[in-house]
Amino acid sequence: MTFDYSGKVALVTGAGRGLGFAIVEAFLAAGATVILNDRTAAGVEQAIDRLGHRRVIPAPADLAAPGGAEEAAAPAIRLGRLDILVNNAAINIERSIEDTGEDHWDQHLAVILKAPLFTVQHVLPLLTRSQGTVINIASELGLHAIANNVAYVAAKHGLLAMTRAMAMELAPQRIRVNAVCPGTMDTELMQECARDSGDPDAYYRSFRTYHPLGRLATPQEIAQFVLCLASPAAAFMTGSAVAIDGGSTAGRR
Amino acid sequence: MMGRFAEKCVLVTGSTRGIGHASAQRFLEEGARVILHGRSAKSVADAVKAFGAEYGDRVSGFAADLAQRDQCRRLCSEAGEIDILVNCAGIYEEVAIESIDDAHWHRILDVNTTAPWLLAQGLLVSLRRRNGVIVNVGSDSGLLGYVNSTVYCASKGALIGLTRALAVELAPQVRVLCVCPGPVETDMLRDTMAAASDPEAVRQGWQSATLLGRIAAPKEIAAAIAFAASPDCGYATGNLIIVDGGATAGRRIV
């Protein structure tokens, strides 16, 4: 599939690596100008170096910090244009219910749930002008739950509900708001978790088995779908939560 | 009607009025000991006195502002050993996306999402030991988007996620359910109507969002909450019990 995003501007949060980075790559390849957010200036710089691309604008901001969303939105406001906002930044640290502390809970809600809302709020005039679109990167864990992830599961469920509310409220301005719910992706984070588990093969095997299609997703295939969702091909979609999870929410074996 | 909840101890947050009050009534009618909760000491004392006239020492109560985490923790220790936690206290405010501020965000999220989490976590030991039940009072707003309710919808969506996450991890000792009402005839609804420029239009809007064409009575939701908490519902956990007059089921094209 190819999409033409020449002349369009996209802001992707949490794009230093993983899915966010893949989404940036895909938008750049399709001709867009991309505003790249990550938590630290160094992270943003590194990502831009890796991309080696002219049409990238840095937007370092810690979305969990007060004023973070405004900071992430600032380059788009200076540019005076935004067509696509991808709320991708997230945090996912496994904890049992007993071990989930207040800071852990607050961090997950701040990055996953609160930051997307305030980022949308800050770029709303731009999206209104461009009749733009918002894509919230949720998770299959916005649709069902697993153990040891209570804050993440709550926040991702909240993000899907928020997606529907925003879709309803912004429909008169013709701003589409949708969510994507990826299953497990083979990212750097996943590789680190596998290493930390002590038995990387078993770790990967358990996630492959978990998804009926028998493999993990690549960040690139999720990114391609994000481009599709932001494109005129999806012009009648708003308020949707699309599972791209290899069947993990479809049923049980 | 001594029955399903004899010997059980139930904490119902937000039970000085509305759905929580109707739920407390129902649990008392069916034999439970009920710990009432409200934000102000006076509202709790009044409710304890009113229920106490009929149910005597099966009724007690504590005041706590659930937006304050230390007060959530205090409520847990005051409640002591319980069998059933009903997270009913909630806040509803309508604000357009452009006008949402940090204070609005925290007023809603702290009470609707974080307090249920803190109470569930804080009361976990006794809930586990007693094969207890947690009933979260969600909303159809966790499933349907409503204009000017972005933060409320997010808070109730997150509460559904919390329900499922708790259920996965606490099974089989503790069942966790989420009862999702549509519009209910409560002070919360009346306050929202009173704040609107055309209250009757707001009422009409809510009525027509349902298939049944009317607003629920609090006791109709209380019945679902009591069912969720009872052995009659013993095979359900992590599930939603949607009692919304059909709002999420479909709509008429008008």
Tell me the nearest-neighbour CA distance from B141 into chain A, angstroms: 8
Q: CB–CB of B173/B205 below 8 Å?
A: no
How far apart are the C-alpha atoms of B119 and B144, rounded to whole Å?
A: 26
- Angle among Cα A132, A135, A136 to the nearest 5 degrees reads 145
Q: CB–CB of A87/A134 below 8 Å?
A: yes
Tell me the nearest-neighbour CA distance from A51 into chain B, angstroms: 34
What confidence score (pLDDT) does residue A193 get?
Answer: 87
How far apart are the C-alpha atoms of A32 and A20, rounded to whole Å?
A: 15
pLDDT tens track for B166-215: 999 999 999 999 999 999 999 989 998 998 899 999 999 999 999 999 99
pLDDT of residue B2 exceeding 70, the answer is no
Task: Average the pLDDT over B214-229 and give the result.
Answer: 98
Which of A97, A154, A239 shows the shortest C-beta gap to B169? A97
Q: CB–CB of B67/B112 below 8 Å?
A: no
pLDDT of residue B1 exceeding 60, the answer is no
- Indicate the pTM of the whole model: 0.97
Kindly determine whether residue A154 and residue B159, on different chains, have CB atoms separated by under 8 Å: yes
How far apart are the C-alpha atoms of B218 and B20, rounded to whole Å?
A: 8
How far apart are the C-alpha atoms of B107 and B100, rounded to whole Å?
A: 11
Q: CB–CB of A39/A62 below 8 Å?
A: yes
How far apart are the C-alpha atoms of A19 and A16, rounded to whole Å?
A: 9
pLDDT of residue B26 exceeding 70, the answer is yes
Active site residues of B: 152
- Cα A66 to the center of its chain, rounded Å: 20
What confidence score (pLDDT) does residue B65 get?
Answer: 98
Residues of A in contact with B93 (CB under 8 A): none
Q: CB–CB of A34/A12 below 8 Å?
A: yes
Which of A105, A145, A169 shows the shortest C-beta gap to B161? A145
Kindly determine whether residue A157 and residue B157, on different chains, have CB atoms separated by under 8 Å: yes
Kindly determine whether residue B158 and residue A163, on different chains, have CB atoms separated by under 8 Å: no
Q: Please indicate whether residue A210 is annotated as part of the active site.
A: no
DSSP state of B30: T
Tokens standing for residue A83: 């067509």
Q: Which residues of chain A have pLDDT under 50?
A: none
How far apart are the C-alpha atoms of A208 and A58, rounded to whole Å?
A: 35
What confidence score (pLDDT) does residue A189 get?
Answer: 85
What confidence score (pLDDT) does residue A19 get?
Answer: 98
Please check whether residue A97 touches B, CB under 8 A.
Answer: yes
Please check whether residue A93 touches B, CB under 8 A.
Answer: no
Please check whether residue A95 touches B, CB under 8 A.
Answer: no
